[in-house]
Amino acid sequence: MISTQLVRSSCAVLILTLSGCVTSAGGVSLRADGTPGPEECSEETRKVMNYLRLFVGEAAVVQIDANQSARPITLYDGPIESQLEGDLGLIEAPSRLYGVVWTQGEQVVIRYYEAHPMNGGNKIPLCAVARLGMGQLRKRPDSKPGTALLDATTAAVFIVDAFR
């Protein structure tokens, strides 16, 4: 016989799933349209960024997906590895940036949480976003759910102190 507690727990999980209140990997809350909600950058990460001269607004160009170069590129919801095309503060190109992609809505949202220098060393925590400029992150209309086809292979990445 199934316990009442088990039934209640299962129903609660089902209701949360159907209502869209479930967060994505990493604990980021999602808005009703499936895009990520606000997220703070940790105090420790802000201190590291300050030390490395990664100030809010500092920018560079990235290869959006380090594993794809043909056009269009296909992005999926979840982890992404991008490659710096130019230096970002004291982080030298061609360092890798690691983050998460959300493909809901008309444009892709990419948040970066760490960089890994290619000349060795440890991963560096950061808060950065790929921003829409000249249409790079606008999805093609033939993109399927959970994916985004992009004509551009590069985008601008900007340091932020919080994700909005």
Count of residues making up the chain: 164
Predicted pLDDT at 20: 35
Helix (H, G, I), strand (E, B), or coil: what is residue 133? coil
Q: What percent of the chain has pLDDT over 70?
A: 83
Name the H helices within 52-115.
none
- What pTM does this model have? 0.81
Separation between Cα atoms, residue 113 and residue 109, nearest integer Å: 13
Tens digits of per-residue pLDDT, 136-158?
799 999 999 999 999 999 999 99
Instruction: Summarize the confidence of residues 109-126 as an average pLDDT.
Output: 94
Tens digits of per-residue pLDDT, 41-70?
999 999 999 999 899 999 999 999 999 988
List CB contacts of 7: < 8 A, sequence separation 6 or more.
none
Predicted pLDDT at 23: 34
User: Topology of domain 31-163, per CATH?
Assistant: Lipocalin (2.40.128)
- 5-14, 17-26, 43-52, 53-62: the lowest-pLDDT one: 5-14
The residue extents of the domains of the chain are 1-28, 31-163
Tens digits of per-residue pLDDT, 57-108?
999 999 999 999 888 999 999 999 999 999 999 999 999 999 999 999 888 9
Predicted pLDDT at 136: 76
Separation between Cα atoms, residue 96 and residue 81, nearest integer Å: 6
Picking from 74, 65, 61, 79, the residue whose alpha carbon sits closest to that of residue 150 is 74
Picking from 86, 82, 93, 88, the residue whose alpha carbon sits closest to that of residue 117 is 93
CB 129 within 8 A of CB 53: no
